[in-house]
A and B are shown apart, each in its own frame.
Chain A
Amino acid sequence: MAEVSCRKVVKEYDAGVQAVKGIDLDISDHEFVVLVGPSGCGKSTTLRMIAGLEEVTSGEIWIDGDVVNDVPPRDRDIAMVFQNYALYPHMSVFDNMAFGLKLRKFPKQEISRRVDEAARILDITPLLDRKPRALSGGQRQRVAMGRAIVRNPKVFLFDEPLSNLDAKLRVQMRTEIKKVHQTVRTTTVYVTHDQIEAMTLADRVVVMNGGNIEQVGAPQELYHHPATRFVAGFIGSPAMNFLPCRVQDGTNGGLAVRVTDSITLPIPPARMDRYGKFKDRSMILGLRPEHLFEYHEQAKPGWTRVELPVDVVEPMGMETMVHFFVDGVPVCARVDPATHAEPNEILPLTADLNQMHLMEPETGRVV
């Protein structure tokens, strides 16, 4: 078990392209940290630098109190699980898991004890004699995890381990990975582009974009208090609605955001101080689909009625997504499935402005 730290880590490729632009990150012992972001955001490169599979252009990577920039992967005491499993096709499951221990000259009994133990944790004991080609995708991924567990390394690294599995299996294996971490408590760095995986697995989520870290925080913190428009849009599904607006005087001496000529939403009194200094400025209003729902007669403080023409209705069973256009900007609402919504009809909705976010259009910073 160990801490992992990145200090001003930069990765520059030959053509002068910077994949990682000087990130700082501290991961504490036993922690499960997920790096998440769109393709090309530098998350995999960061993981591969921690693994030692990519050289660090500048900056330092620390594992367990030592700078490991020049330490080869095998001496870093890490284990990695790859997206495509990377099992050795000519070896049985047992040999795949034992390979690292054999290379490190562990005694035979110790090897079989550890492999049996890992196989028990992952529920793959009956598969130990099989070759990888005789396994299903989920079983292969378990074997890949078993190969990591038997080594009992300081750090686990996962590089999009569930992306090759079908949707159902992915959910199942996600739980499995969480369970394994709860059992072995090894410091884990996990890379994914799937924000749901990030939210469900992580102690802390690191959102990356364009080679920089946008925000680091617990899943709930990122959801409720995104620091930037990027994080606000990336975390949560369907994505947050973003509407250009203007902060102006409201009724009764309050403030309001004017979205269109016909839609002006009063800002809750609790937010007056925070948003007061942005009066008469163009801003971006952020409101999650779950905070735009069917109209209720008994409104709570901060709830406002809006009426929008329905574009598309998507029933999901437990809820229904309704899509609208407000001045050409797409907006999504999450309504009760009992709500009657038809395309081209006007649907009355409630906007819960207690949950609103306001962003600066130039910087994308959430104010």
Chain B
Amino acid sequence: MSTTVAERRIAVAAQRKHSLHRSRMWALWGSYIALSVFVVMFLVPPFYTLMTSLKSSAEISAQTGSPWLVRHPTLENFWYLITYPNFQRYYLNSIIVTILTVAVSMVISVLAAFSLSRMGFWGSQTLSTGVFLTYLVPPSLLFIPLFQIIGQLGLINNFWCLVLLYPTLAVPFCTWIMIGYFSSIPKELDEAALIDGAGYLQMLWKIFIPVAMPGIIAATIFAFTVSWGAFLYPLAYLYTSNQMVLTVGIISDLIRGDVFQWGKIMAACLLASLPPIVIYAFLMDYYVAGLTAGATKG
């Protein structure tokens, strides 16, 4: 009697295990299918860009065979761009603008986030909400009034105006990310630092910045992306090729009238995407969550 009960129990357990296994299998299949759709959607355009960039103008316009394959691969588009002084200029301008934008945005947003999240002064709550609200205003609404301001500053058709403008896009969001990160740092950590003899700036520099590094990296990536990829502002404010950055330079230089130099445009896109790819790959290694593990009981 007892044996049969035990056997039945084992059978039930096995069945349960089996059904658990089955439901997990279905979940995995679902995930794979969803991820495949996602991967195809996001990787097909870059693949097509790469294929086109490796073709000569003649092969692109020939319209024979599959457009997904290259029959006579060539690096002539890349070579043309690398040796093209205008393209070098755009690249350099983009690098200068981006480095300065990231630096300015991060200094402002780290200081702002620290004071808003930690110093608890009168109105700090309202101000933090205000900072986020400014992020919700679309840039396309602002570029006409900003044109007036930039004009009065005498910075029309001068890429330095972007160093002034991009932080207005990057700072609110970066500050918001950093407020979240700083708020997650236990209050006792700053109190311990205060008692240990640190002032507010030392506390920020020696405790908050190292501990909130993942947040700072996330904010840096965001500021970089905003600055490197922005299109509307440079299109509105820059019109000579010596001042242009990559985004507008590529379309204004490589599209002449109704002639699209597809091979060169695609090659330029790939070259322009290199810095983000490198930076993402490099910073992701440092993007380790759980750096605060061990600070307090957790």
Contact = CB atoms under 8 A, between A and B. Distances in A.
Interface in B251-280: none
A78 B195 contact: yes
B291 A74 contact: no
B212 to A, nearest CB: 10
B192 interface: yes
A74 B197 contact: yes
A71 B297 CA distance: 30
Majority secondary structure, B binding face: helix
A245 to B, nearest CB: 45
A320 B182 CA distance: 51
B294 A133 contact: yes
B74 interface: no
Given A103-B197, A103-B202, A86 B192 contact: yes
A139 to B, nearest CB: 10
B189 A88 contact: yes
A228 B196 CA distance: 39
B197 A131 contact: no
Nearest to B295: A89
Interface string A50-90: 01110000000000000000001110001110111111111
Interface in B119-144: none
B297 A84 contact: yes
Contacts of B285: none
B291 A85 contact: no
Contacts of A135: 294
B211 interface: yes
Contacts of A84: 186, 188, 296-297
A83 B189 CA distance: 11
A90 B206 CA distance: 10
A164 B297 contact: yes
Given A73-B195, A103-B197, A86 B189 contact: yes
A168 interface: no
Interface string B194-213: 11111100100011001101
A80 B193 CA distance: 10
Given A88-B207, A90-B210, A140 B294 contact: yes
A219 interface: no
Interface of A: 51-53, 72-74, 78-80, 82-90, 99-100, 103-104, 131-135, 137, 140, 147, 151, 164
User: Which 8 A-B residue pairings sit nearest by Cβ, starting from the closest?
Assistant: A133-B294, A84-B296, A86-B188, A100-B196, A132-B294, A89-B295, A74-B197, A86-B192
21 contacts: A52-B195, A53-B191, A74-B197, A74-B198, A82-B192, A84-B188, A84-B296, A85-B296, A86-B192, A87-B294, A89-B292, A89-B295, A90-B213, A99-B206, A103-B196, A103-B197, A132-B294, A134-B294, A137-B297, A147-B192, A164-B297
